[in-house]
A and B are shown apart, each in its own frame.
Chain A
């Protein structure tokens, strides 16, 4: 059996999740506490991938990053980044595609904390950053876990975006969901079943773990 698409899938999901976590904490913090007028616009943009067909997202990526236009060629010339039909491109697309799955849990985690926790820390002379790191984040651990796992699982399951912007390059952009499609097209049901079963079992285990941990069944480990 060829494990390459599966390994690539989890590699993509891992890189995406890590980058997404770093990006989402400040974004979710801002969304939870800001009273800015542009906030509804940003909130809408963050949520767009929930409702938009992935192909729409993929299509615009394809257009924007294509070396055939000014922006795409600038990226390639100056930063050496080729974002169409490449792993980097997949990561970037996945980050945007899974953004709401990471941002929303963290944002509601922040919003659910009593504002006086933050204020108490400020009054005790602690900066915003220290407060975020030492008080807020430790108290939204379940939300962080939910965000991490949902973003990971969602990236594992993406198809449309990858197909549009990544294509089907073995070892580069041929992730498991694409491989399954490919094998079915080739009437190769055995291989399709193999990939599908592995994805099914792994995602089931990941989600089960979240519910066990956040439901307090594994208290010793988490709290």
Chain B
């Protein structure tokens, strides 16, 4: 059980922002922090890790107080038993994959764990390579394995998959889920990808301007609790061109381009760059399986 109350005034690009986060994680739970960039997600993770000091608040992990502004308790990052996967992976460039993991070993038991972890994320063939020779996905696996050294009470993942392409993402999501279950970890993840959130998390906490605006299961949050056969996507208008009597509007939805036919009256107020909702009214969508 992990509970925290964090308060801090952050200096963001648009001025000051007050972050106020109250969060409870049950043991073994995987919770995702979701929200726009600048909402305070990374700062929250850094405060949990002890890399950033909150102005006020409390962090209690498995009965141990990590931070308490009233009692002036503030454990250093070194004293907090946690794993952190950084957005840029932060692998030590001068060490091999194996050395990167061994660096975190505190005793002989940990050393035997190195081999187990290397096997688990399928890095056996790469263990004597330096990080610069690895692909993004491989680096990510090393970072994940390294974060698990010392069996952390809390695993923090800062957008671990944002830099990878879709196929490798899917595989690494499986890896994260596998280690989360095998080690019985309590995991806090930052992610923007709805598919990823849906696949991985037990619970989603949405942050906006430093405050929790919604939380619940991924289904509750993103489907609004209702089953819907309607097609509704939000996207951004990239181009509007006239084609005879109608107009063709190019819309970017996630990272797919869609062309939509629009009538004169529909595009009257529409400008390039506007955010739009693309929805179908009458027809049920059809699913085709794609070869993977």
Contacts and interface: CB of A to CB of B under 8 A. Distances in A.
Contacts of B51: 119, 122-123
Interface in B65-83: 76-80, 82-83
B89 to A, nearest CB: 8
Given A122-B76, A124-B150, 8 more contacts: A116-B87, A119-B49, A119-B90, A120-B86, A121-B92, A122-B78, A123-B51, A123-B77
B90 A120 contact: yes
Contacts of A134: 103
B51 to A, nearest CB: 5
A95 B178 CA distance: 56
Top-4 shortest CB links A-B = A116-B90, A120-B90, A124-B104, A122-B77
A39 interface: no
B281 interface: no
A117 interface: yes
Contacts of A139: 92-94
B106 interface: yes
Contacts of A127: 78
Interface residue tally of chain A, by bracket?
A: 10 to 19
Contacts of A124: 103-104, 146, 149-150
Contacts, number: 55
Interface of A: 114, 116-117, 119-127, 134-135, 138-139
A134 B90 CA distance: 14
A134 B82 CA distance: 21
25 contacts: A116-B86, A116-B87, A116-B90, A117-B92, A119-B86, A119-B90, A120-B86, A121-B92, A121-B103, A122-B78, A123-B50, A123-B51, A123-B77, A123-B80, A123-B84, A124-B149, A125-B78, A125-B104, A125-B150, A126-B103, A127-B78, A135-B92, A138-B94, A139-B92, A139-B94
Nearest to B77: A122
A125 B149 CA distance: 11
A123 B80 CA distance: 7
Contact of B90 (A117, A125, A126, A138): A117
Nearest to B105: A124
B88 interface: yes
B132 to A, nearest CB: 10
Interface in B4-46: none
B94 A114 contact: no
Nearest to B49: A123
Most buried by B among A114, A120, A121, A135: A120
Contacts of A121: 92, 103
A38 B256 CA distance: 52
A119 B88 contact: no
Nearest to A125: B78
Contact of B106 (A122, A123, A125, A135): A125
Nearest to B78: A125
A79 B115 CA distance: 57
A132 B79 CA distance: 18
Given A124-B104, A125-B104, A119 B94 contact: no
Nearest to B82: A123
A127 to B, nearest CB: 6
Contacts of B86: 116, 119-120
B139 to A, nearest CB: 13
